[in-house]
Amino acid sequence: MITRRRALALGGVGAAGLAGAGAALISRGGSEAVTDAVAFTGPHQAGIVTPAQDRLHFVAFDVVTKDRERLVRTLREWTAAAARMTAGLDAGEIGAVDGMPEAPPDDTGEAIGLPASALTLTVGFGPTLFRDATGKDRFGIAGKLPAALEPLPRFTGDTLDEAISGGDIAIQACANDPQVAVHAIRNLARIGMGTVSVRWSQLGFGRTSSTATGQATPRNLFGFKDGTRNLKAEQEDLLREHLWVPDGDGPDWMTGGSYLVTRKIRMLIETWDRSSLAEQEAIVGRHKGTGAPLGAAGEFDEPDLTAVGADGTDLIPATAHVRLAHPDTNNGARMLRRGYNFVDGSDGLGRLDAGLFFIAFQRDPRTGFVPVQRSLAASDEMNEYVRHVSSGLFACPPGVTGGGWWGDRLFA
């Protein structure tokens, strides 16, 4: 096992040499860490089309400084730490173990010995980073606010809690080990102390969407497969059309980026659990076991929205989720989803506080999430069993390249 301490002792690799993303071959964990690290740099940020890892820690920060230079410094420090942690290294060059005794460690230590675990860290900027509630330009970047970052409309039935919605900067940590995802967010919060403050944070498990052709479709807490028709990493034409912001589409700094919508969707699972199998399947529009659309045999069969049963009614009801969310119902709208199930304990009313933390990336929410959610909010029979309690919207820039840092093109 090559730990950070031993790597230094082996000679030739000074602290400076470990600072960048190029050091991915020397890791905190065992030999498997070398192979389970996801590249941090590239044209797009990792954590979007990366095959969905099993665990999530998502955080939204408020920026508490008015000092642009301080914010930029934090973004630079975050980038260096993110490059290290995704490579399986400590957050800082000194670490928790080799620290100076009289200084706080520059890594908190709980991930010592754990491999990279496919950790990805994906950053996004919220509309409030650009202008405050009074419209004031906070950091001299208001002129670069993308039109696509227009706040989401209020949807029918929304019961949003502002305290766990929005945020100036969001970071999505995904990993195959929750301790690794938590460690990453906790260390970024530590590094950002005085610049940012945690606004809200969400843990998730049991990803609900497959993002690669080889991944089986997992199930959400309604017990149904979720993400069968999701965009896949291999569908390059579709990703170009629906996921990545093309050149000339809004401000330059977002070219190659994507827009992130999060919705915390509380599921009233106790009520759901009392509904019949037939009712559940009619609401979803799919069979619970196979995941096949009603009237079809295989999970990946195309839903036939025109099929009519023996009694002359639609096989897939007009109010079924699969119909209302279908691209044909929404002007071809498609998103890349990578949601996670959550249980946040209980709600004080004898019920589990559980549901889906919905995450979707798209080229433009105005033609992606918004029309689909309008359609669902208006007619989805599932609304009886869900409550949207949190909402987030963030512009995720393209990947870091060369000596770049998170937001370099925005703050350039």
Q: 68-127: which residues touch a copy of itself (CB under 8 A)?
A: 96-105, 107-113
Q: State the distance between the two ends of the chain, measured CA to CA, in whole angstroms.
A: 41
Asked if residue 391 lies in contact with residue 152, where contact means CB atoms within 8 angstroms, the answer is: yes
Residue type, 364: D
Q: Of the two residues 59 and 283, which places its CB atom closer to a copy of itself in the complex? A: 59
Helix 68-86 crosses helix 178-191 at what angle (to 10 degrees)?
A: 150
By CB under 8 A, which span of 254-262, 271-279, 301-309, 330-338 interacts with a copy of itself? 271-279
Among 9, 278, 297, 310, binds a copy of itself (CB under 8 A): 278
Asked if residue 181 lies in contact with residue 175, where contact means CB atoms within 8 angstroms, the answer is: yes
Q: Of the two residues 178 and 404, which places its CB atom closer to a copy of itself in the complex? A: 178
Q: Of the two residues 185 and 333, which places its CB atom closer to a copy of itself in the complex? A: 185
Would strands 196-207 and 258-267 be described as parallel, antiparallel, or unpaired?
A: unpaired
Asked if residue 116 lies in contact with residue 40, where contact means CB atoms within 8 angstroms, the answer is: no
Would strands 340-346 and 386-396 be described as parallel, antiparallel, or unpaired?
A: unpaired
CA dihedral 33, 38, 41, 44 (to 10 degrees): -170
Name the strand (E) or helix (H) holding 280: helix 277-284
Residues 199-258 within binding reach of a copy of itself (CB under 8 A):
199-203, 205-206, 216, 218-224
The burial of 107, by beta-carbon neighbours within 10 Å (0-12 exposed, 13-18 middle, 19 or more buried), is given as buried
Tell me which residue of 104, 102, 101 sits closest to 92, measured CA to CA: 104
Q: Of the two residues 105 and 293, which places its CB atom closer to a copy of itself in the complex? A: 105
Residues 163-182 within binding reach of a copy of itself (CB under 8 A):
163-164, 177-179, 182
Q: Report, in Å, the least distance between residue 202 CB and a copy of itself.
A: 6
Q: Of the two residues 248 and 348, which places its CB atom closer to a copy of itself in the complex? A: 348
Diameter of the chain measured on Cα atoms: 78
Site size with a copy of itself, rule: CB under 8 A? 74
Question: Count of residues for the chain?
Answer: 412
Per-residue interface string for the shown chain with a copy of itself, residues 32-71, x marking contact by CB under 8 A: -----------------------x-x-x--x-x-------
Q: Of the two residues 122 and 202, which places its CB atom closer to a copy of itself in the complex? A: 202
Among 134, 159, 276, 306, binds a copy of itself (CB under 8 A): 276
Per DSSP, 154 falls in state: P
Q: Does 20 bind a copy of itself (CB under 8 A)?
A: no
Asked if residue 174 lies in contact with residue 55, where contact means CB atoms within 8 angstroms, the answer is: yes
Q: Of the two residues 141 and 170, which places its CB atom closer to a copy of itself in the complex? A: 170
Q: Of the two residues 187 and 211, which places its CB atom closer to a copy of itself in the complex? A: 187
Q: Report, in Å, the least distance between residue 104 CB and a copy of itself.
A: 5
Name residue 175's beta-bridge partners. Answer: 55
State the Cα–Cα distance between residues 162 and 192, nearest whole angstrom: 22
Q: Does 350 bind a copy of itself (CB under 8 A)?
A: yes
Q: Of the two residues 117 and 373, which places its CB atom closer to a copy of itself in the complex? A: 117
Q: Report, in Å, the least distance between residue 180 CB and a copy of itself.
A: 9
Among 65, 235, 255, 275, binds a copy of itself (CB under 8 A): 275
Q: Report, in Å, the least distance between residue 274 CB and a copy of itself.
A: 5
Among 5, 6, 68, 154, binds a copy of itself (CB under 8 A): 5
By CB under 8 A, which span of 36-44, 122-130, 343-351, 365-373 interacts with a copy of itself? 343-351
Asked if residue 393 lies in contact with residue 274, where contact means CB atoms within 8 angstroms, the answer is: no
Q: Report, in Å, the least distance between residue 317 CB and a copy of itself.
A: 15
Q: Does 17 bind a copy of itself (CB under 8 A)?
A: no
Tell me if residue 401 falls in helix, strand or coil.
coil
Q: Of the two residues 24 and 356, which places its CB atom closer to a copy of itself in the complex? A: 356
State the Cα–Cα distance between residues 113 and 88, nearest whole angstrom: 9
By CB under 8 A, which span of 73-81, 130-138, 298-306, 345-353 interacts with a copy of itself? 345-353
Residues 363-402 within binding reach of a copy of itself (CB under 8 A):
none
Name the strand (E) or helix (H) holding 222: none
Give 12-48 as a 3 state SS string. CCCHHHHCCHHHCCCCCCCCHHHHCCCCCCCCCCCCC
Q: Report, in Å, the least distance between residue 235 CB and a copy of itself.
A: 24
